[in-house]
């Protein structure tokens, strides 16, 4: 099945992987990641990417607002596109944190873990969901 945002997601993934404006290097990292997913895990990289992004993209974002002396955390719903881009950022950030191996290997591992609903990027999303659930009483402050 064709995913309507697939080309956009791949471009965004390349831009987030990119460092110092080296887009061709970022594309090569993504190609290597796809080949690792195919050879080691025997899965379709596009399906793995789609599942990983959907599992790591939180449906809300948390903004903090100061009211008096205390800081309140307010959950805001976000668009589907922003949700996916946030998921991509979580995956790449967590892959970068791991040292020792190539970025393509780290990214492949993080994508595969996220597609199976495990790994550090999914934990980050779940943490945001916990904070949002804990502070859902503050949603009335969105417009204040």
Q: 122 pLDDT exceeds 50?
A: yes
Q: What is the pLDDT of residue 1?
A: 47
- Stated as kind and residue range, the H or E segment containing 85 is helix 80-97
Q: Are 45 and 114 in contact (CB under 8 A)?
A: no
Q: What is the pLDDT of residue 9?
A: 84
- pLDDT, one tens digit per residue, over 58-108 is 999 998 888 888 888 989 999 998 999 999 999 999 999 987 789 999 999
Q: What span, in angstroms and rounded, lies between the C-alpha atoms of 2 and 118?
A: 25
Q: What span, in angstroms and rounded, lies between the C-alpha atoms of 133 and 112?
A: 27
- pLDDT, one tens digit per residue, over 13-68 is 999 999 898 999 999 999 999 999 999 988 888 899 999 999 999 999 998 888 88
Q: Are 112 and 104 in contact (CB under 8 A)?
A: no
Place of tokens 């873990």: 113
Q: Kindly write down the DSSP assignment for every residue of 3-43, as one continuous string.
A: -TTHHHHHHHHHHHH--TT-HHHHHHHHHHHHHHHHHHH-S
- Global confidence as pTM: 0.87
Mean pLDDT, rounded, of the chain = 89
- Stated as kind and residue range, the H or E segment containing 47 is helix 45-56
């Amino acid at each position: 099945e064709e995913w309507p945002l697939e080309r956009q997601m791949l471009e965004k993934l390349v831009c987030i992987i990119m460092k110092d404006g080296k887009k061709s290097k970022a594309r090569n990292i993504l190609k290597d990641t796809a080949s690792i997913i195919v050879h080691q895990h025997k899965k379709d990289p596009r399906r793995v990417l789609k599942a990983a992004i959907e599992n790591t993209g939180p449906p809300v974002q948390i903004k903090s607002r100061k009211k008096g002396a205390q800081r309140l955390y307010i959950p805001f719903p976000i668009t589907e596109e922003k949700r996916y881009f946030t998921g991509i950022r979580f995956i790449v950030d967590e892959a970068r944190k791991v040292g020792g191996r190539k970025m393509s290997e780290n990214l492949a591992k993080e994508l595969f873990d996220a597609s199976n609903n495990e790994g550090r990027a999914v934990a980050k999303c779940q943490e945001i969901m916990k904070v949002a659930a804990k502070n859902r009483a503050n949603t009335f402050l969105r417009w204040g």
